[in-house]
Structure 1
Amino acid sequence: MKYLHCDSCGHPNPLKSEYLTFCDACGKKLPQNFAEWRKLRPMATFPEYTQAVGISLKEKKNTGPLYWIKNQLQPANKGKVIVFFSLVFLLIAITGTLFGKRAVFTFLYPKVPSASLYSTWHTATIGRQALEISTPVKLWVHDQPLEGEEAKVIEYAKTYSNEDGGGIRIAVNMFSYISSVANSLEDAVAASHNSMQLKETATDIDCKSIPVLISGMQGMLEEGNYLYKGGIRLAFCNLVMIKGSNRWQIQINYRDDDPVGRQVAQRVLKSVKIK
């Protein structure tokens, strides 16, 4: 089929008859109608006119996503659709089982931003047995009620930590035990491990212990990593110090694959002083 293009509105008029003179869309006279064109070619026929003046419209191919979906939903393709979506759901289930948990924990535990190394840090002196510490995030009081045997042997307890986020968790715990209770460094390290396993749901712990001296007091620094809730491996630094009936613990957690987190943790530990 050939068409005569209207110069006024652009409408393509089908050349079905030699009497086509006005546009079907806007009603205006077509400039190259057969009568006008034949004045200069009196012996020409209508087929010759259509070949010389008429235009062909390009067939619009349906290749978009909507056309593909519509085509796939045809009854003839029903079996293919069922097989396709069954495979997709199976793949999602397998991927979710293998990688879903890790993806979630990776989102919840981002890496420490490098800006933490250059921003202004907070230096605070906290607790009855004053401890000074500098951190890239502000520490807030997060006291937890003592339960069971702890409530019977601890006369004073204080906990400070940062809010969630920032890629790092820093907690400062301070305890004063009653005079009749032994307060050894070994007991303090063991209590720290128990707390990490219970509260952090930590498994597969791998760490090393280093004796340290902080403000003239004996302490133990543990550094290592563990599997958190079976989903992501976290690094930790655990500094424990004792003096008489008093005990201090600084615990830092960050992603094991985070070099900035490690630098921040080391800087925090170097800032610790007991007044």
Structure 2
Amino acid sequence: MGHEVWAVGDAYEAYVGRWSRPVAREFVGWLAVDAGRTWLDVGCGPGALTAAALGTAPARVTGVDRSPGFLADARFRAGGPRTGFAAGDARALPVPDGRFDVVVSGLCLNFVPEPRLAAAEFARVTASGGIAAAYVWDYGDGMAMMRHFWEAAAALDPGAVAFDEGRRFPLCAPGPLAELWSGAGFAAVTTRAIEVPTVFTGFADFWQPFLGGQGAAPGYVASLTEQQRTALRERLRSRLPAGPDGSIRLTARAWAVRGTLP
């Protein structure tokens, strides 16, 4: 399987973006930030967290992402007089020291090759007394759609386990997240789970996003032959808990961490 792709907003939206929006809203509510603050959204993607932050009546929200495609989508979905967007790497943010009251990141940190460098950058750009916080999917246990997928894939191809995010991203758990934040110098570090329902109207609604090429599981599907893809599709169909109306009701959990800069 080739390099994991995260760049096309519509494909991302169908796959996990639609579930990330309620998580972003819950996360922002947990932070309980006063109006008039300056925010930095690191790894803003198509703008779900930026849009949620706008609900706090901020002075300004700045989004940073490495993907030109995602930045274009973020500008379309969350652009306006109180937002701005820039290309940049989480390990070397293109902003001055101590610039932001609130520094956040949604569903991004596990993809940063050196998350400790990113956490150090969060500390660098957070104002004294400011908040830094992030959340990531609970790939190991709480992201049911992906757990069903990888368990079905591994039953047909033992080599599929090498691509399973649950194995690849040990950061995505409360202990490692808290340790990362404390190591970067943040105080009053706390973590929490955020769980949202993921209801698919039917099997096609579940399966079709895996054909979009965005992320590890869709990338794995793209690497299969047509015969292998059909076998995986039918194995998934047989194991998913469909209701009488054909809907598939699952849940998605994210782990969040927050701290303050002394």
TM bin, normalised by shorter chain, reads under 0.3
What TM-score, normalized by structure 1, do the two folds share? 0.21
Greater share of residues in strand? 1
Greater share of residues in helix? 2
**Higher RCO, Cα 8 Å, sep 6+:** 2
What TM-score, normalized by structure 2, do the two folds share? 0.21
